[in-house]
Amino acid sequence: MVGAERRLIVTGDDFGLSPGVNAGVVQAYREGILTSASLLVNAPASAEAASLAHEHSGLAVGLHLALVQGRASAPPSSIPGLVGPQGDFSDCAVVSGIRYFFFPGIRAQLRREVEAQLRKFHSFGLALSHVDGHMNMHLHPVVLDILIELAPQYGIAVIRLTRDPLLQALRLDPRWPLRKAAEGLVLWRLTCWAEPRLRAAGIRFPDVLYGLHQSGAIDEDYLRALIPSLPAGTTELYCHPGVMPDPEVERRMPGYQHAKELAALCARSVRQSLYEHGVALANYWQLREG
């Protein structure tokens, strides 16, 4: 199965955000095609998520590094350039990205916070399958350099490379073309910068990724159209399943269709399509192993 020509990693992001997200990730793993999850270590339900991960040992769990829209792990007094007095990051990824690049002294604070989140992840007693980032901030040049530097110490062997083919995304769903084009351009530039650095460090990544342009709007029709076109090699699809209603999800992600994504991941027709097109499910641990 691992040696199949086409492998698909299906990752649930924001694991730990809320009980509804945790329930959705577990249900999609047990009843559907989800194989991996990315943990927000400082989110309200992170301890519950870690406990669920221990109960479902086949689920590969990595760190969903949060440097915007969340709470820090390091004491606020040690990272004043990153957070407010209560330890909360800014909600604006663009402003934060600019500040993280240009403000003097910010690198040391970012390293302090990245290490604090990695330590907290390991404190849950979980093995780290991969690292990615909330709002894809892990690909920020300063942040990625820090992750590469810390990789040997913290066992970082796989990092998500967020490159979702724009033209294919528009063929699969023509909605939101301007938003997709803008985010596609930004992530394309970041991944072009990141790829040679990851290769030089011996850090693996999926060959291609889907879900960026369809974030919060993956449904059964999208998956059934995507699966036949998956390329050879290892592909990642990241998604946001959840059991609704969930006040935390509704507050932080208005417009995201968590329940619909969960239903799509668990649809019998989707699993049948994987079988018919010779696509084998895999997880991040299998990508680590080659």
**Which sequence spans correspond to the domains of the chain?**
6-289
DSSP category for residue 270: H
Burial class (CB in 10 A: 0-12, 13-18, 19+), 20: buried
**Rounded Cα distance, 258 and 76, in Å:** 32
The pLDDT of residue 104 is 79
- Cis bond before residue 245 (omega within 30° of 0): yes
Backbone angles phi, psi at 158, to 5 degrees: -140, 135
pTM value is 0.96
The pLDDT of residue 178 is 98
Ranges of residues in the chain with a pLDDT under 70 are 1-4
The pLDDT of residue 3 is 44
| Alpha helices (H) along 32-67 | 46-55
Three-state SS at 105: coil
Cβ contact 183:212 at 8 Å: yes
Cβ contact 52:26 at 8 Å: yes
The pLDDT of residue 4 is 52
The pLDDT of residue 105 is 86
Helix (H) or strand (E) holding 64: strand 60-65
Is the domain covering 6-289 a CATH 3.20.20.370 domain?
yes
Backbone angles phi, psi at 63, to 5 degrees: -95, 125
